[in-house]
Amino acid sequence: MRRSGTVLLTALAPVSWGTTYAVTTALLPPDRPLFTALLRALPAGLVLLAVTRVLPRGGWWWRSAVLGALNIGAFFPLLFVSAYRLPGGMAAVVGSVQPLFVVGLAALLLGRRPAPRTLVTGVVAALGVSLVVLQGTGTLDAVGVLAAVAATASMAAGTVLTKRWGRPDGVGPLALTGWQLTAGGLLIAPVAVLAEGAPPALDVRAVGGYAYLALANTAVAYWLWFRGIDRLTAPQVAFLGPLSPLTAAVVGWAALGQTLTPVQVTGMALAFGAALAGQLGGGRRRSFSSAEKNRRKDSMDLTDPALRR
C-alpha cells in the first residue's frame, strides 16, 4: 500500500504536465517558448528556495547545475518549442519513448542489460501513445519533432542521474527540486533575452497561465516527480511518463473540442496498461541511509530492486 501511494502521487506529475500543451496554446503569448520556459522554472525555483532555505554544498553545486540543465534548462525550452510547433498530442508522443531512453542510459552507465519484459513494455507504451496522437489532425514540423526528441532524451538523462546521485544527507526532495529549477531557470534567462528580446505584454489570461505553470505544473509536480525518483526505481518512474500525452489527449477532447476515435481509445488502453505494467516486478525493497546509499551507488544498478532512496 505504501508503494502504491508513492506511485499514485508520482503519477500526478505527468498528469499535470499533460495539461501544459493546452495551457500553452490557449492562454500564453505565441512564439515565446524561451520566455515561457523561464517563467515556468525560475519563479518556482526561487519560491522553493525561500521555503526550504537550504543551499547546495560541496559537489552538489555542480551536480545541481547538471541536473538543472538536463531536467529544466534544456528540457523546458525544447518542450515549448515542440509545443508551439506541433499539435499537443503529437508533441507529447515522443515523450512516450522516455522509458526506453531511461533503460538504455541505465544500461550504458551501469553495463547491465535490461529485462526483456521492460523493453516490451516500453514498446507497447510508445505504440499505444502513437495510436492516440497519430489519429489527430495537424502536420509534422521537422524542428518541432527534433525538439521533442531532444527534450525526451534530456529528461531521461536527468532522471537517470537524479536516481544515480540521490541527494545529500538531511536534504529533502523539495530542496533538491528548488536547486534544479533555479539552476535551470538561470541557464534559460540569458538565452531567452538574447533570442526573444524584451518580455511581451501580458493580459490576465497569460498571467493566470504562467502562474499555473510555475506553481502547480512545476513547483508541485516536480517535487512529486523527484520524490518518486527518490523512492522508486528509475524505470518505474519513467513508465509513468506516458500518462502525460494521455492526459493531453483527454484535455484536448474535453476542453478543446477534439474527438477521440476507437483506435485512439484502444491506444489509451495500451499505454495505460503499459504504465501499470511498468510498476510491477519491483519486489521488496530495503531502505538505506543517504550516506550508505552514496557509498553503495557505484556498485548498484538503477533497476536493482534494493535501490530505494
Query: Which of the listed ranges 18-22, 108-112, 156-160, 256-260 does the model predict with the highest average pLDDT?
Result: 156-160
Query: Higher-confidence residue: 106 or 16?
Result: 16
Question: Cα–Cα distances in Å, from 127 out to 68, 92, 157, 160?
Answer: 30, 13, 22, 23
Reported pTM:
0.80
- State the average pLDDT over residues 298-305: 35
- Asked which of 41-55, 173-187, 271-285 is least confident by mean pLDDT, the reply is 271-285
∠ Cα 32 38 39 (to 5°): 90
Most confident of 33-37, 38-42, 113-117, 305-309: 38-42
Question: What's the pLDDT score for residue 115?
Answer: 77
C-alpha–C-alpha distance, residues 230 and 303, integer Å: 13
Q: Give, in degrees to the nearest 5, the angle at Cα 221 between 171 and 61.
A: 35
Torsion 238-246-138-22 (CA) sign:
negative
CA dihedral 259, 207, 226, 60 (to 10 degrees): 150
